[in-house]
């Protein structure tokens, strides 16, 4: 049985803290949107804002950590074996075929993961941050020279970003169950060690 140490303590802290904050923002955000009543509008807005600023602070630390440790290299996109990875997730996984990618400390994410995480970091997150920031400072738009902006478009963009983040979260949870064992990848983000099964597979 092969085990590999993939995730350092800060990575695990960053992952779980980010997960808690994003889920909190989804729950409170959809209440603010009027989807249901759980905390009350004012309380939901307050918690949503606190979670948003907390996530900003966490990301500042995470960016600094990734830059100073060189871990940012794991998010550089590559097309190597991307067709094999796509074929595995679309059909091979249902035929119990071996995974064509084996992570290592120097190569943690497969090509599709790299592309997905890069898209989340460079496209989805900025959409949410920009529209969320505009929402937060709506009362200052005129003073900031943004009086011509449409609140409806900002709201639509933020809501679209929220649904995309929810879709990413659901797919992330599903794919986390596709390791050698149902809990292999989950335990990797708890202990740092992932069980890859036998090397011959």
- pLDDT at 17 > cutoff 90: yes
Q: pTM (2 decimals)? A: 0.87
Q: Which of 22-36, 53-67, 92-106, 115-129 has the lowest mean pLDDT?
A: 92-106
Residue 159: CB partners within 8 Å, gap ≥ 6? 33
- pLDDT at residue 199 in the model: 55
Which residues make Cβ contacts (< 8 Å) with residue 68, sequence separation at least 6?
none
pLDDT of residue 198: 61
Token readout for 164 is 């995309």
Mean pLDDT of 96-115: 88
Does the structure show a pLDDT above 70 at 201? no
Q: pLDDT digit string (tens) for 169-192?
A: 999 998 888 877 888 889 999 999
Is the pLDDT at 200 greater than 60? The verdict is no
> What mean pLDDT is reported for the chain?
90
Give all domains of the chain, ordered by start, each with its CATH number.
2-197 (1.20.950.20)
The tens digit of pLDDT for each residue in 120-170 reads: 989 999 999 999 999 889 889 888 888 888 899 999 999 999 999 999 999
Please list, in sequence order, all residues whose beta carbon lies within 8 angstroms of the beta carbon of residue 58, skipping any fewer than 6 positions away.
Answer: 14, 17, 18, 21
| Percentage above 70 pLDDT, the chain | 97
Give DSSP secondary structure letters for 26-63.
HHHHHHHTTS--SS-HHHHHHHHHHHHHHHHHHHHHHH
């Amino acid at each position: 049985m092969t085990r590999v140490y993939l995730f350092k303590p800060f990575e695990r802290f960053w992952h779980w803290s980010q997960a808690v904050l994003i889920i909190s923002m989804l729950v409170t955000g959809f209440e603010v949107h009027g989807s249901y009543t759980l905390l009350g509008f004012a309380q939901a807005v307050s918690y949503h804002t606190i979670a948003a600023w907390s996530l900003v602070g966490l990301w500042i630390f995470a960016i600094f950590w990734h830059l100073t440790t060189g871990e940012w290299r794991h998010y550089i996109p590559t097309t190597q074996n991307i067709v094999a990875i796509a074929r595995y997730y679309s059909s091979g996984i249902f035929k119990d075929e071996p995974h064509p990618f084996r992570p290592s400390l120097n190569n943690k994410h497969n090509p599709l993961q790299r592309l997905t995480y890069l898209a989340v970091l460079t496209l989805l997150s900025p959409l949410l941050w920009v529209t969320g920031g505009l929402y937060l400072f709506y009362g200052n738009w005129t003073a900031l020279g943004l009086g011509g902006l449409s609140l409806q478009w900002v709201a639509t963009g933020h809501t679209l970003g929220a649904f995309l983040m929810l879709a990413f979260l659901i797919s992330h949870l599903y794919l986390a169950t596709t390791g050698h064992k149902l809990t292999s990848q989950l335990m990797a983000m708890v202990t740092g060690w992932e069980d890859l099964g036998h090397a011959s597979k």
